[in-house]
Structure 1
């Protein structure tokens, strides 16, 4: 490994440590109470090193959300060419549930919501980097199902919101309003109900 590669590896390692410590700190203390010095301490880096990677707490929090999303969005990168529409939708639902619970997106969203009055720009950035981005990915898949004739031609912006809205009733809204809400044991059945209702409307 050359010197440049070594330095890049060290920098990436420090960045990962900072994101991990920041995630733990934000989830434990919330955005407002989280302290950059404590995050640096948890990451075993100097405060100067932390600010070298992230110029502000707002930038750091947005990076934590983005990293969480990046870690789980690959679940939606599926080859649907020979997959029945119902199975495609099931995998989308599974990916959504995984991200919200195993990826702790519900907990991060709760932190964001608490900061909307004081940090609207932060909330908007998180919304664009997680919610809107995921909608666009799902829309691409829905449009592919329309193109191959599995679904009727329709307004895909509307259908994505319809599908997401049904799923959220089971796995997002209850979690946002209950501190210790766990993934339901019958989550597969609930997702199946959502998919069935969606296909009744849009299946060709």
Structure 2
């Protein structure tokens, strides 16, 4: 390894993509990200470099399409499922994510090859969390669709940055009192909750 501590530049790998996911999550949960980084055996410099290279790929004037980029980085999807959203058809392409064995990285690709969405979802057959109260909504415990189903009706909110989503809903706390809650997600995974201000 070079004296800088960085790995030699080479193909962008599934490990690098996991570092990109973590980099965005570090804004809300630096402790969890630090633990995950150690689990992956990489340095802070390597995580920054992976994010820099990813951003460079996104901004390249003649770069590959998003769908092609994911296939080149992650290989062939573990599964490809036809899906219909409203009156539009798309494919849900899913890849395993070693850091989160019970999750899959899902990319929704339209008929024209455009990527509509990219986020983490629960793997088929993997047990989801039991979400009954606000106290169950701990960081990294659930995905957007799981929270939306558990506390329906949930209202989607615009995220504060790309790859971020929000949900507003009412949920009971441990005492049974109903609370107005905002849940924030990064790459589809819960990062934090807060009481929603009203009035």
Higher strand share: 2
What TM-score does the superposition give when structure 2 sets the normalisation length? 0.29
Higher helix share: 1
What TM-score does the superposition give when structure 1 sets the normalisation length? 0.28
Q: Relative contact order, CA 8 A, sep 6+: which one is greater?
A: 1
Task: Flag the structure with larger Rg.
Answer: 1
